[in-house]
Structure 1
Amino acid sequence: MVVPLRRNRRFQLLWVGSAVSQLGTELTKFALPFLVLALTGSPGWAGVVVGTRTAAFITAQLPAGIWVDRWDRRRTLLLSQGAQLVNAAVLALLIVLGGVELWHLLVLGAVDGVCTAFGGPARTTAIRAVVPPDQLRGAYAQEEARGHAGRLVGPPLGAFLFGLGRALPFVVDVLTFLVSFLCSLFATVPRHPDTPRAAERTSMRREAADAVGWLWRQHGLRGVCFAVMAMNLLGGALLIPLIVLVGERGGDVLTTGVVYAGIGVGGLLGALLSARIGGLLPAGRLLIAILVLFGACNAAMVLPIAAWWPMIPLLITSLTTPTLNVVMNVAISRLVPEAMLGRLDALLTVVGMGLSPLAPVLGGVLAAELGGAVAVLVLGVGFLLTALVAAASRDLREFTDDESTA
């Protein structure tokens, strides 16, 4: 008898731990640019610090995915989370003692990015191991709700804690990593994936080439990945210009946190409505529609209504993204053999986020040179141009999750 997802103890422990950790990540993601601005006064340096973590994550992602397919998935998950716990504790201690410097943020951010590169594929294989195939859609919908709940609570809570003391968001982040580690420990994820014995394994280069070859043969998914790459670049670049825009309209740190809470509100609603929204359009056309919506909402953000106004366009855009994420995650989990899942999860992340390290730098430079409002508008034009290019691809337009699983 198959246990209902809500009673699947191992999955729910993984989910709770990840939900708590996601909250801590959102706290520090929001607080970190303000910390860098307080230390340097430069939006550009804020972008470099955030971009360094992303660059380390992308660089380590594919090797990490290959090793996750080879190693004990449970041990890999615990080691990556344990290293992040120690890394976060060092950062919090430096801030509490008043000795934090810019190079500390760069180095510790890079370490966190590498740990995340291992933890992501390890967690993907863990979910695949503890959730039956017919419950994957529900599991990934719950995963989407987790992420957006963190984005809802994280920014305003991060702003509140940062206002009380610079170190507080980072101290709370340490506690969330501890909870996540303990949840993963007690989840008792099956230890070994069904992979070839060490003597039968090919080289890492060959295993990476096999993953690249598989993706290249999936024509529709290949086009989706490149469109998502541009989408992540433009979306990631929005963080600093939007902070500057809210400041230009007279908003403070708390107002900025409330604005970013729109992402969480829309994402939670979108996760609940993902099945209904996903039935409106095939995945490829849904992606094109989302890109157009993002461009239009970016333009709406610059309307001189109030400092809090950008929250509404952010809420609207975030209604649609959970559906796309669920559709893609389910299709990939059903299609890819378990022994290859870590590599493909890593490869798709690398392709989709290939330009993401440039995003905060791009956003910081645009905000410094053009101001917040013009920078947000320029990024909106970028979304619309990406939608035009994506619409010109027949394979992308016709891509569906059913096509992937055929």
Structure 2
Amino acid sequence: MDARSSAQDAETDSSSEAAEATEADASTSRASYSRPFLASDKIAEVFRESGNSETSGGDAEEGNQSGAPEDGAAASGGDQDAGAQEARSQAAEESEATLEEIALWVDQLGSVEFAAREQATAKLRGVGKRALPVLERTSRDHPDLEVRMRASDVAKGITGGETAGRIDAFLAGNDVSLDGWEVFQTILGDGVRIRELFVDFLMRHEKVAASLEGTSKDRESAFQQTIVSVQRGMFVEQRTPTEADLIALILLANDHDMPITRVEENAIFTVLRRDATAKLLTDAQLAGPFRAMLGGWISRDDVVNRQEILWFALSWDLAETLPLAMNTLEKETDPITLGMALQAIARFGEKSDVPGVAKFLDDSRPASEQQYAGGKLVQAFVCDAAAAAIILLNDRSLAEFGLNEAAEHPKYGFIVQEIGFPIEDPKPRQEAIEKLKKELLSE
């Protein structure tokens, strides 16, 4: 009894230690299974760096992958050890097959005997990736349709089986080399939802994933093909764009060295108006990186439709649009666009932004249509929008300066159409701006 008790105690202690070690390993793994996303103003530089460097991790990963099954195949019992050893021995023989043997097995795919075809299929699957070139060539060039189809099926089984296993390991938080993951992870960070999104992205947009570690030219080609693919899905196949579709477009648009035309920019807006945007912005793990990528895109120097971008940013509460709004004050002459930029500044800006806005206090160009209010015909000018922005940036009320207090808006800062003054009487506007200059700009 004492001996058995001691043995049981020892076994319990050993199991406890093993469990603690396993828990510690898992804790370490979980700790590394997290990474913050990149700030919007840092994303473009990632693409510049990736375009200037060659990555060689693929070959190393292939070596790791080929060794992984053996490491994980150790069994605990004698019979299991023997069976595993025999299986490994057979797998080793198949993986070491010569090109002549591989070619012979491929030829046997056309055998009239079912058993011969099945044996050849098993042998080729055992060889794995090394058989792919011959299989792909056979599936393309062999004169017999049946052989072409069988070769294609075997090739798909090899690539599909390996890909499925790697993706399972990847989703479990393991380090697995997948096309584009390094750049994707650098920009969006790491986490459970990030990896799930990446797998969907990789399956739907393989060329985009491959282009992430390439050049801007590679990304431009992938971007154009993705737009065509997504639009075909929307307008021909009546398929709603997915989060992966939207991520593919916005991610590539963060490469500021990749040109984007007006038509392509409009295509992005078309996708942004669909459900995928709301899903990403309300996802606890994905909202942050998605907002950062939106900020990286709208900070491009070549954005064309600033009104659309500003409206979208205000609608979705994107503070990342502030640099674009301030930049618009320097570059844009259209009064409607200036009015929207001033709304964004009022909504997301700070008191330190007032000097950039104040220069528009003398701009008397119409920023809205004429309309009736209180029985009088009124219209908002650019100077009215500038005044409203300055007042709100100073945490003051519009009513204090003679502007319509009802024009204040929690999402849009203020409504441009609601801050106008009577067309026939310039005095109220003059008094409001003079009071503003005296109280808020005299410092």
* TM-score normalised by structure 2 residue count: 0.21
TM-score by length of 1: 0.22
**Which one has a bigger Cα radius of gyration?**
2
Give 1 or 2: higher helix fraction. 1
Higher relative CO (CA 8 A, sep ≥ 6), structure 1 or 2? Answer: 1
